[in-house]
Amino acid sequence: MSLIGEGRLLIATHNKGKLAEFRQLLEPAGITVLGAADVGLPEPEETEATFAGNAALKAEAAARALGLPALADDSGVAVDALGGDPGIYSARWAGPSKDFAVAMGRVLDLLAEGGHTAPAERRAAFIAVLALARPGEETLFFEGRTDGVIADAPRGVHGFGYDPIFIPDDGDGRTFGEMTAAEKHGESAPLSHRARALAAFAEAIDLER
């Protein structure tokens, strides 16, 4: 666990859903997770053009501010028929109020307007890139990806963000919104993009999960 020192890790996010997922995945391994809001860190503007760039921006700002290792992610859903949108703009499509019902509605409306009704025309991927920043050290990156399709309508009440409209290829036909956290994050074969990125992170820091 040398990459994160004393087992304390700052998660540079103000997103409560993301922070909950990180805690579910890391705290059982003995890592104390701190959120950006817990320590009064502001949320920097995401000005980069890639998931990796935005993740690094957030992690490095937090590590500089507190002198602690900081992990940040940038993630989103990229829909093939929409040219990869919303992609890095996934959170922004939800607006200032973070209303993901609006964001999901926009995705579904655009697919309908384009006549993309067949599953083969609704291909998408959830992508997460984690950046681990440590004071005075090189930033490390870990990526997770889950391919799937966009459902015809939101289904399920679990998870957050676009989960209710995303059906992973490796699943059983349910959306992420219809799965429990344990089903999404399954230890032996994680389904979620964030869990897959965290699995790569866990391997890099030799974390027993």
CA–chain centroid gap for 86, Å, is 14
Q: What is the pLDDT of residue 6?
A: 62
pLDDT score for 187: 67
Q: Is residue 113 part of a domain?
A: yes
Residues of the chain with pLDDT under 50: 1-3, 208-209
Catalytic residue among 38, 73, 74, 206: 74
Q: Which of 175, 84, 157 is nearest to 127 (CA)?
A: 84
Query: How many domains does the structure of the chain reveal?
Result: 1
CA 86, CA 203: separation in Å to the nearest integer? 30
> Which pLDDT score is estimated for 99?
95
85 catalytic residue (yes or no): no
- Is residue 184 a part of any domain in this protein? yes
Its pTM stands at: 0.86
Give the pLDDT confidence score for residue 165 in this predicted structure.
Answer: 98
**Rounded distance between C-alpha atoms, residue 30 and residue 157, angstroms:** 29
The pLDDT, as a whole number, for residue 48 is 94
| Residues spanned by the domain of 57 | 2-204
Q: Is residue 188 part of a domain?
A: yes
pLDDT tens track for 80-138: 999 999 999 999 999 989 899 999 999 999 999 999 999 999 999 999 999 999 888 99
Please report, for the domain that includes residue 156, its CATH number.
3.90.950.10
DSSP state of 150: E
Euclidean distance between the first and final Cα of the chain, in Å? 12
Strand ranges in 60-139 using DSSP code E only, listed in sequence order: 70-79, 123-133
Residue 195 lies in a domain: yes
Task: Say if 209 falls within a structural domain.
Answer: no
Q: How many CB atoms are closer than 10 A to CB 55?
A: 29
